[in-house]
Structure 1
């Protein structure tokens, strides 16, 4: 298990520590070498790698053919990669994976927050679902441009499950989770992880 101090030391500084911890707790894998491979609605069972070389061999074998999530943050290994030669061992190095994963999640969190119009309760949960599925509002969220820093809303909480008082809930027109994935079965880099890592936590710092 990765300790909290390491997580905060390695995380992207653009993401608040409280959000980093909640993100890792929700989606994190306890093993930096963890590789999850999915094609369509099916998870491909692979032999758990024992070394970084084993993990990278798995990643290189499946990237471009299936959706591959890797490391502590279950980072989408195919993101931004056009050639498997571009894949680097950083993917399975704990600190580097945390840095890349939190930076990418930070962008997704800002995309979702911009949709709300201001930092709002519920944005974190929506961003988390977007990380898992790869989609937000029908768009492949990993490829969305970063809206940059957003103005803070006075009294806004870091993350919550319900809209703030007086704030409208999300419209019912939002596509069902997974809909877009099913519409693009030929794109292995645009599928979510199937395994549920909720509950795998890192604990709170003393």
Structure 2
């Protein structure tokens, strides 16, 4: 369980502490140095990082090639970064990770709430929260990339970094975006040649 003082000091103020705790419990990690790497729908087993520098090394090795989640909030590493060298140690610093992760999750929660028509009933909140968690894990909500989307509150969320492959998953399994306009060949999504399929 995450320290209440850390939540009070570092978490996004628009989220109640109970929501932050539930978010970390459901979608986060208890290890501030945790690095999770998913490629091709599979989890790549990584040795546990012993130092922030080691965690940063793992991030830099896989960002742009796989989906990389880091820290307490399992924040997507690489959103907005042009190069892996732009990744900083604050991604695994507990307070900074909590601040960035909860700010991004708050934006996603507002996006989902807006889609539901901004209901005032507390009965709807569990469904909204579940959909926001799903969007956090998959990077998508109603076909839109939640990490790059505009904040419905009009605030610009912090530019985090997510590789293009982070923008879509199904049932927790990563999937490349259907349409991708990338400037570098290594950032392009998976393409499948369907020319061998016969039309009948």
Same topology, TM > 0.5: yes
Distance 1:33 1:100, change over 3 A: same
2:137 — aligned with what? Answer: 132
Please tell me whether the aligned partners of residues 71 and 91 of structure 2 are also in contact (alpha carbons under 8 angstroms): yes
The runs of 5 or more residues in structure 1 that have no matched partner are 150-175, 191-206
TM-score, normalised by the number of residues in structure 2: 0.74
1:163 — aligned with what? Answer: none
Partner Cα separation in structure 1 for residue 172 and residue 53 of structure 2: 35
2:151 — aligned with what? Answer: 146
The runs of 5 or more residues in structure 2 that have no matched partner are 155-168, 181-185, 190-200
Name the Cα RMSD after superposition: 2.6
Please tell me whether the aligned partners of residues 134 and 142 of structure 1 are also in contact (alpha carbons under 8 angstroms): yes
Q: Once the two structures are superposed, what CA deviation does each residue of 1:76-132 show, in whole Å capped at 9, x if it has no partner? A: 001121122221100010010000000000000000001011144221111011001
1:184 — aligned with what? Answer: 177
Q: Once the two structures are superposed, what CA deviation does each residue of 1:31-58 show, in whole Å capped at 9, x if it has no partner? A: 1000000112111111111000000000
TM-score, normalised by the number of residues in structure 1: 0.72
Partner Cα separation in structure 1 for residue 172 and residue 97 of structure 2: 28
**Count of paired positions:** 164
Which structure is higher in RCO with an 8 Å CA cutoff and minimum separation 6? 1
Partner Cα separation in structure 2 for residue 12 and residue 189 of structure 1: 33
Between 52-61 and 5-14, report the one with greater CA deviation.
5-14
